Amino acid sequence: MKLRSAFLLPARVWMALFFAAPLAIVCAYSFLTRGDYGGVEQPWTLENFTRLADPLYLAILWRSVWIAGLATALCILMGFPLALFISRAGKRKSLYLQLVLLPFWTSFLVRTYAWLFILRDTGLVNTVLTGLHLISTPLPLLYNDGAVLIGLVYNFLPFFVLPMYATLERLDPALLEAAADLGARPLAVVWRVIVPVSAPGIAAGAVLVFIPCLGAYLTPDLLGGGKSVMLGNLIQNQFTTARDWPFGSAASLVLMLASALLLSLLMRSRVAKEIM
Amino acid sequence: MPHPVLELRSLSKEYPGHKAVNNVSLTLERGGFYSLLGPSGCGKTTTLRMIGGFEQPTSGDVLLDGSIVNNLKPYQRDVSTVFQNYALFPHLTALRNVQFGLRERRAKDSEPRALRALDLVQLTAKRDSLPAQLSGGEKQRVALARSLVLEPRLLLLDEPLAALDPKLRKQMRAELKAMQRKTGITFLFVTHDQEEALSLSDKLAVMNAGRIEQFGTPEEVYLRPATAFVAGFLGAINWFGKAGVRPESTRISRQLPAASECRQGAVESTLFLGNCVHVNVRLEAGDRVIAEVPREDNTFSEGETVWLHWQPADEMRF
Amino acid sequence: MKQRALGIYSAAALAFLHAPLLVLIAFSFNASRFTVWEGFSLRWYRAALTDPQLGEGLVNSVIIAVVSAVLSTVIGTMAAYGMWRRSAPLLSGTLYLSLVTPEIVTGVSLLALFQWIFRFLRLPLGLPTVIVAHVAFSIAYVTIVISARLRNYDRTLEEAAMDLGANEWRAFYRVTLPALTPAIAAAGLLALVVSFDDYVITSLVAGVDSETLPMVIYAMARRGVSPVVNAVSAFIVVVFGVLILISQRLQER
């Protein structure tokens, strides 16, 4: 239908020019070489990818994976009970969901800055602890992996709670009643029935947290200083200060592919279709 | 000789897997009230949508006033549809809804004409109400007025009374019939309710599994059905072997009757229906039949042996 | 009962989610620049209002947010409507991909594109490049909001309009568009917020003269914590909160 095609045209053009084409350029750059003045030129090479296997860069890749993984694990541990509580909250469900989402509706930058304010040497935690005479010198709470972890969990907890809640809400209450009927105590019901049955939902929520954590840039930048370099920081650095665009492009490609792979696994699962 | 207002020539609509409409041909003359009757899934709504222009036929032609309109869009056809869910525009008042088509044509007198149409369906008082404030019956009348005000050559109605409660349905039936007579516009009414089709139509087409099994007047279709399906769909029918006889034509007596055809059976139960009584009888051969008797003859009791007989003229054979 | 234990835990978890922001806002009213409460004061708000850099950043952010919100809302609404009439798997796949792609990757790829274009067109990084980038990532958000509204929309209404003589465009304009108006407003507000908040992509494609508010805040935060940032943050929290609240109300209509 002519009208429908016309309606789709602006979006198609814009996404093609300003989303797909840029990604294609990055893809191409990742196989080229850095020029003398920071440009991009031939020859075509795989060197950028092999360079990523250097111990230095491998460490960054590894740190990204384990920080993202740990953040995801924490989100699961912290988020699952919260989602369970909300799913059983009856009339107040939407109120609690709003409360979970409320901090999310503020600026990402502000949310990350808040932890800067709390964790720095003259920040809230240190000031309180010093005031209570529990410590004499400030604790170095900032500019390390731990601070980055806190920042990531804080920002992405709702990404887990919401889909987890959606899954738990659909749980058949008869299953729980049957388990209780067969003698299972409340904790056992959770562990032996709810968790296994909602496992696909847990996996889906985990992927939804892991992907943005893997590609995090602002959080490790503000809260990690230069000390907790993740993949996102590496990429930003290569495209600005270091001016090695081909190498940065290779790193970007690796990040993109990892994200796309995880996402495709998510989309294929039945759970995803229920949640989305 | 003027062209018939609608002609369907070997119309078919195929989907991967099944033929929704299978080689349907039909001719409707100007000014009549016609019905398409059939069970769910028989293809009547699909046929209607092809006439309206919302579906494209796989093969065959739709002719309006003698011209083939297959390639014309709904807004290019002089046909109007009253949808099953009324499809009133929620953001417009009743008056604006009725005016919609006229304003699309840039008619200068759209408001007075719309008011006259609302008056015709007795809803002038609700002219400024939004659809959400109207009852089911009122919405239906606005939908009707909205289509009629355009004075189309053919009005299509897709089970418009289905969502109404029984009492309102009967009332709306009478109003629809009166409306058709008054305006003289050709109506094509789709329904699965045989009582509705019989009471409203000048002629009706009985559809089954994508085909038209019979097209005729209510008397023809009820008394001289062309197929066993039509016979069974239009009303209850008793099968005595290959002969079918309607319950109201099935006589019941305690003595052997002086009739050429009769069967013996035992009374299973009687059902008091208010204006008549249905006597359920089990024949020797095991078949169950129903004899309809007047209220006063409600004297049969369970277990009684009775004789069933009928006039040969009332038999239907296929 | 298990629910009580869960309830206690959940209260703590929700406190964890809200406390940092509340603390931030509370200390924006602190008379002292140190993290020790020394009395109520509005001095940091006054400082924020008179800071020229913040002012310029705010102006840039508003211009960019408004222009990109308008563009992305128009483009996204059209796309959602087009996809509702006829499925377009490639476009919807691309839009979802744009939501999931890490911002750093989107940012550097756009930088690469603009650099490449610069060789031919001499178009420097500045407000236009930022706006282009913002529209690119906002379209998906708009499309989601409008698509959600269309999912519950009765298709026969457009058929009825066509039946009464309106062609496809008129049917959209006279019947569907009025029904979409609250959703369009909601999507526009969402696009506004998303654009205003962006730091990562903007910082890469902004160039020297077009600093946005997040960029100024970032620079201030990097230099050392100042309560002025707290004040600006509090302001942003309130404004965003109100805009999102309105957007959600509109979507419920």
- Report the gap between the CA of B143 and the closest CA in chain C (Å): 10
> Residue A123 and residue C103: Cβ atoms within 8 Å?
no
Q: What is the pLDDT of residue B128?
A: 94
> Residue C166 and residue B147: Cβ atoms within 8 Å?
no
**Sign of the Cα pseudo-torsion (C1, C3, C6, C12, in order):** negative
Q: What is the pLDDT of residue A71?
A: 96
> What is the number of other CB atoms lying within 10 angstroms of the CB of residue A230?
28
> What is the number of other CB atoms lying within 10 angstroms of the CB of residue B273?
10
Helix axes C103-121, A231-239, angle to 10 degrees: 10
> Residue C197 and residue A107: Cβ atoms within 8 Å?
yes
Backbone φ, ψ for residue A223 (5° rounding): -90, -15
Instruction: Kindly give, in sequence order, each residue whose CB lies less than 8 Å from that of residue B72, ignoring residues fewer than 6 positions away.
Output: B53
pLDDT at position C3 over 70:
yes
- Band of residue A270 on the pLDDT scale cut at 50, 70, 90: low
| Separation CA A275–CA B199 (nearest Å) | 50
Q: Which of A270-274, B16-20, B59-63, B157-161 has the lowest mean pLDDT?
A: A270-274
- Band of residue C1 on the pLDDT scale cut at 50, 70, 90: low
Distances in Å between the Cα of C111 and the Cα atoms of A18, B84, C196, C205 are 10, 55, 19, 6
pLDDT at position B165 over 90:
no
pLDDT at position C119 over 90:
no
Nearest CA in chain C to A12: C91
Q: Tell me the average pLDDT across A97-105.
A: 87
Q: What are the residues facing B13 on neighbouring strands?
A: B21
Give the nearest partner residue to C82 out of A8, A190, A256, using CB atoms.
A8
Task: Tell whether A100 is within 8 A of chain C (Cβ).
Answer: yes
- Report the gap between the CA of A154 and the closest CA in chain C (Å): 7
Mean pLDDT of chain C: 91
Residue type, position B313, single letter: A
Q: How far apart are the first and last CA of chain B?
A: 36
> Exposed, middle or buried, B91 (CB in 10 Å: 0-12/13-18/19+)?
middle
Express each pLDDT in C9-26 by its tens digit. Answer: 999 999 999 999 999 999
- Report the gap between the CA of B103 and the closest CA in chain C (Å): 9
> Residue A7 and residue C199: Cβ atoms within 8 Å?
no
Express each pLDDT in B10-60 by its tens digit. Answer: 999 999 989 999 999 999 999 999 999 999 989 999 999 999 999 999 999
Q: ∠ at Cα B3 (B64, B72), nearest 5°?
A: 15
Q: Which of A185-189, B280-284, C13-17 has the lowest mean pLDDT?
A: A185-189
Spatial contact of A87 and A80, defined as CB atoms under 8 Å apart: no
Domain boundaries, chain B: 6-229, 236-317
Give the nearest partner residue to B74 out of C163, C170, C175, using CB atoms.
C163
Which of C89, C88, C84 lies closest to C153, judged by CA? C84
Backbone φ, ψ for residue A229 (5° rounding): -85, 120
Mean pLDDT of chain B: 92
pLDDT at position A124 over 90:
no
In terms of domains, do C24 and C78 share one? no
In terms of domains, do C12 and C70 share one? no
Q: What is the pLDDT of residue A149?
A: 95
Encoding tokens for residue B101? 């088509």
Contacts of A131 in chain C (CB under 8 A): 36
Lookup result for tokens 């491998």: A58
Q: What is the pLDDT of residue A41?
A: 83
CATH code of domain B6-229: 3.40.50.300
pLDDT at position A1 over 70:
no
> Bigger pLDDT: C63 or B136?
C63
User: What is the domain count for chain C?
Assistant: 2
Helix extents (H) in chain C: 2-27, 43-50, 52-85, 89-100, 103-121, 127-151, 156-163, 168-171, 177-197, 200-205, 213-223, 227-252
H or E segment to which residue A193 belongs: none
CB < 8 Å from A in window 215-234 of C: 217-218, 221-222, 225, 229-230, 233
| Separation CA C92–CA B298 (nearest Å) | 70
Spatial contact of A120 and C27, defined as CB atoms under 8 Å apart: no
CB < 8 Å from A in window 180-219 of C: 193, 196-197, 199-200, 204, 214, 217-218
In terms of domains, do C33 and C81 share one? no
Which of A93, A70, A100, A80 lies closest to A197, judged by CA? A80
Q: What is the pLDDT of residue B129?
A: 94
3-state secondary structure B128-176: CCCHHHCCHHHHHHHHHHHHHCCCCCEEEEECCCCCCCHHHHHHHHHHH
| Separation CA C27–CA C233 (nearest Å) | 11
Assigned domain for C190 exists: yes
Task: Tell whether C7 is within 8 A of chain A (Cβ).
Answer: yes
Q: What percent of chain C has pLDDT over 90?
A: 64
Spatial contact of C146 and C180, defined as CB atoms under 8 Å apart: yes
Spatial contact of C131 and C207, defined as CB atoms under 8 Å apart: no
Nearest CA in chain A to C90: A12
Q: What is the pLDDT of residue A62?
A: 93
In terms of domains, do C116 and C241 share one? yes
- Band of residue A267 on the pLDDT scale cut at 50, 70, 90: confident
In B161-310, DSSP assigns E strands to 186-191, 203-208, 211-216, 238-240, 243-245, 251-253, 262-272, 276-283, 288-294, 305-309
Distances in Å between the Cα of B23 and the Cα atoms of B59, B234, C134 are 8, 22, 56
> Residue C166 and residue B75: Cβ atoms within 8 Å?
yes
Q: What percent of chain A has pLDDT over 90?
A: 47
pLDDT at position A271 over 60:
no
Q: What is the pLDDT of residue B210?
A: 94
Which of B111, B151, B118, B154 lies closest to B134, judged by CA? B118
> Exposed, middle or buried, B163 (CB in 10 Å: 0-12/13-18/19+)?
middle
- Report the gap between the CA of B50 and the closest CA in chain C (Å): 12
Q: Tell me the average pLDDT across A112-137.
A: 86
For the stretch B46-82, what's the b/e string if a residue is b when 16 or more beta carbons lie within 10 angstroms of its beta carbon? Answer: bbbbbbbbbbebeebebbbeeeebeeeebbebebbbb
> What is the number of other CB atoms lying within 10 angstroms of the CB of residue A144?
15
Q: What is the pLDDT of residue C225?
A: 67
pLDDT at position C118 over 90:
no
SS3 of B99, please? helix
| Separation CA B22–CA A3 (nearest Å) | 31
Spatial contact of C24 and C234, defined as CB atoms under 8 Å apart: yes
Express each pLDDT in B95-133 by its tens digit. Answer: 999 999 999 999 899 999 999 999 999 999 999 999 999
| Separation CA C29–CA A262 (nearest Å) | 44
Give the nearest partner residue to B80 out of C157, C163, C174, using CB atoms.
C163
Residue type, position A68, single letter: A
Which of C193, C184, C179, C181 lies closest to C245, judged by CA? C193
| Separation CA B6–CA B24 (nearest Å) | 13
Give the nearest partner residue to A14 out of C112, C139, C240, using CB atoms.
C139
- Band of residue A273 on the pLDDT scale cut at 50, 70, 90: low
Give the nearest partner residue to C165 out of B90, B91, B105, using CB atoms.
B105
pLDDT at position B63 over 90:
yes
CATH code of domain A25-275: 1.10.3720.10
Backbone φ, ψ for residue B205 (5° rounding): -110, 125
Domain boundaries, chain A: 25-275
Kindly state the DSSP code that residue B303 receives in the 8-state scheme: T
> Residue A114 and residue C233: Cβ atoms within 8 Å?
yes
SS3 of B34, please? strand
pLDDT at position C162 over 70:
yes
Q: Tell me the average pLDDT across C49-70.
A: 94
pLDDT at position C209 over 70:
yes
Q: What is the pLDDT of residue B91?
A: 94
Q: Tell me the average pLDDT across B182-211.
A: 94
Domain holding C82, by residue range, is 52-157+184-252
Assigned domain for C109 exists: yes
Assigned domain for C176 exists: no
pLDDT at position A121 over 90:
no
| Separation CA C149–CA C163 (nearest Å) | 24
Q: What is the pLDDT of residue A272?
A: 54
Contacts of A259 in chain C (CB under 8 A): 100-102
Reply yes or no: is the peptide bond before residue A43 cis, omega within 30 of 0. Answer: yes
Q: What is the pLDDT of residue A3?
A: 77
Query: Taking the complete model, does pTM exceed 0.80, yes or no?
Result: yes
In terms of domains, do C87 and C122 share one? yes
H or E segment to which residue A248 belongs: helix A245-268
SS3 of B317, please? strand
Assigned domain for C238 exists: yes
Q: What is the pLDDT of residue C194?
A: 93
**Fold observed for domain B236-317:** OB fold (Dihydrolipoamide Acetyltransferase, E2P) (2.40.50)
